[in-house]
Structure 1
Amino acid sequence: MSNKLLPNANVIIKGTKEGLTLHLDDSCSFDMLLEELEAKLSANMKAPENKPSISVRVHTGYRYLTEQQESRLRDIIAAKKTFKIEGIQSNVITIDEAKSQREASEITSMAAVIRSGQVIEVPGDLLLIGDVNPGGQVSAGGNIFILGALKGIAHAGKYGKLDSVIAASVMKPSQIRIGDYLNGAPEPNSEEQSGMECAYVDNGQIIIDRLQILKRIRPNLNRFEGGF
């Protein structure tokens, strides 16, 4: 395989342990880009038959690809029969994607009592001032903070964010979930609870401990001024 590159090349091919990375210039015309990509793949990427497919990741920089353009790009790479496209990455996102990312990073605060049969879901973090009664459920893409009693169901990190935590003034849930990890009602504690408690994932299981532990195990959890 030749690694010789043309001056000001619009397509730069780099080998990695995982396969190949194609860096595509974001300032030239798209047709010119595809033409050069086709030529380089045809000239330099001929592999012996019966060899495993080479994983390819594509970086398009600040070029936004329409569905049609992405399809044309994938067709050129896939036509060589040697490559398997693992992903196409861009530094540009759509308005809808930006909105989703903003919502996922926001804190939704509400003052309410979540009664049996009620379900509250938010895309980011949830700050609830009130109780979650038995049969009630709160769910969040991020963390859940309850200034009240948690006696129902709480599901944090519902999209797989396993560093999410659940904190409550009174921690007596019927069920706790963080990501795909599940913990039923904790064993009754003969000692009177003193202060808020939190739940987090550690070594593949959900742990319930004092709130102060979060400062050590989740040092980046500093959304509120002053920390814990």
Structure 2
Amino acid sequence: MKTKQNVVIKGTKDGLTLHLNDKCSYDELLEELKEKMDAVNDQESGSMIKVTVQAGNRYLSEEHTEEIKDLIRKRKNLEVDSVKSNVLTMEEAVRWKEENEIVSHSGRIRSGQVLEVPGDLLLIGDVNPGGTVMAGGNIFIMGALKGVAHAGCYGNNEAVVVAAKMMPSQLRISQYLNRAPDRYEEEESVETECAYIDDSNQIVVDRLQVLRHLRPDISTFKGGHHSG
């Protein structure tokens, strides 16, 4: 009799969660997983059941992940919702670091030029008409924004755009778009302003001071990487 189960099955409101032992060998794990899935398959009938796999601190290669998914999918009425692991791959770790980094850039973004960064962007300079800045996170411009700014460009609705002079030809945050109000063509803004998505999914331009309450996390400045 085994003293420790390598696969523990728990029922949830969404289906089944399989907790995999991360200390045993992969072959042992696979063998017990097959047995458990056969047992589940004998009992279950009717509608499809979603299965979530929790691998704990075990690193699963793409090949192993697919093998586990296939093993579960072969049983009727079972479909894999997700396979989760606490262990990051090197690629995931690098991407996480980039997305949580502030990249600073000094200089003017001219017409036809596009500057894109995976995390937050701190631009020390202007964005000319026809120029574009894009960031996976927030955009902070210590100058005039007269071109296009697209914050949260990979789908982050919490991202903001801050500019010392807010006169964009177009503002985008995540998938939302806001063409510049006419007033920007007539007068320059005299104070630093911020743009964010409000509760009704509209891009709103407001005084910088509101950010402290709307996005309190922004005040915890973590430092970052500098690029010329």
TM-score by length of 1: 0.91
- Is 1:185 the counterpart of 2:177? The answer is no
User: C-alpha root-mean-square deviation of aligned residues, in Å?
Assistant: 1.7
Kindly provide the amino acid, as one letter, of the partner of residue 43 in structure 1.
Answer: A
Q: 2-side partners of 1:96 and 1:36: how far apart?
A: 30
2:87 to 89, 92, 99: 92
Q: Partner amino acid for 1:213?
A: V
Q: For 1:182, what is the secondary structure of its paired residue?
A: strand
Q: Aligned partner of 1:20: which letter?
A: L
User: Are 1:131 and 2:126 counterparts?
Assistant: yes
Task: Name the SS for the 1:126 alignment partner.
Answer: strand
Out of 148, 153, 175, the position equivalent to 2:148 is 153
User: What SS does the aligned partner of 2:140 have?
Assistant: strand
CA distance in 2, matches of 1:60, 1:81: 22
Among residues 28, 33, 41, which one is paired with 1:37 in the alignment?
Answer: 33
Bigger helix fraction: 2
In structure 2, what is the Cα distance between the partners aligned to 1:118 and 1:47?
61
Counterpart for residue 13 of structure 1? 9
C-alpha distance in structure 2 between counterparts of 1:57 and 1:187, whole Å: 51
Number of residue pairs aligned between Structure 1 and Structure 2: 219
Deviation at 1:24, TM superposition (A): 0.2
The CA distance in 2 between the partners of 1:107 and 1:223, in whole Å, is 12
The one-letter amino acid of 1:24's match is: L
Distance in 1 between the 2:137 and 2:7 partners?
39
- Cross-structure match for 1:3: none
Question: Equivalent residue for 1:76?
Answer: 71
What is the CA–CA distance in structure 2 between the aligned matches of 1:80 and 1:54, rounded to whole Å? 11
Quick check: 2:171–2:178 contact (8 Å CA) kept in 1? yes
- Structure 2: gaps (5+ residues): 223-228
1:96 match: secondary structure: helix
Q: Deviations over 1:176-221 (max 9, x none)?
A: 1100000011230677633200000112111100000001111111
**Contact persistence 1:47–1:82 (CA under 8 A):** no
2:114 corresponds to 1:119: yes
Identify the residue that residue 171 of structure 1 maps to in structure 2.
166
Structure 2 residue identity aligned to 1:81: K
Structure 1 unaligned spans of 5+: 1-5
The secondary structure found in structure 1 opposite 2:183 is: coil
1:65 pairs with 2:66? no
Task: Give me the whole-angstrom Cα distance separating, in 1, the residues matched to 2:188 and 2:86.
Answer: 52
* Distance in 2 of aligned mates of 1:177 and 1:191: 21
Which residue in 1 is equivalent to 2:225?
none
Letter in 2 for 1:46: D
Alpha-carbon deviations, 1:42-69, whole Å to 9, x = none?
12343554x2210111010111112221
The residue aligned with 1:108 is 103
Larger RCO: Structure 1 or Structure 2 (Cα < 8 Å, ≥ 6 residues apart)? 2
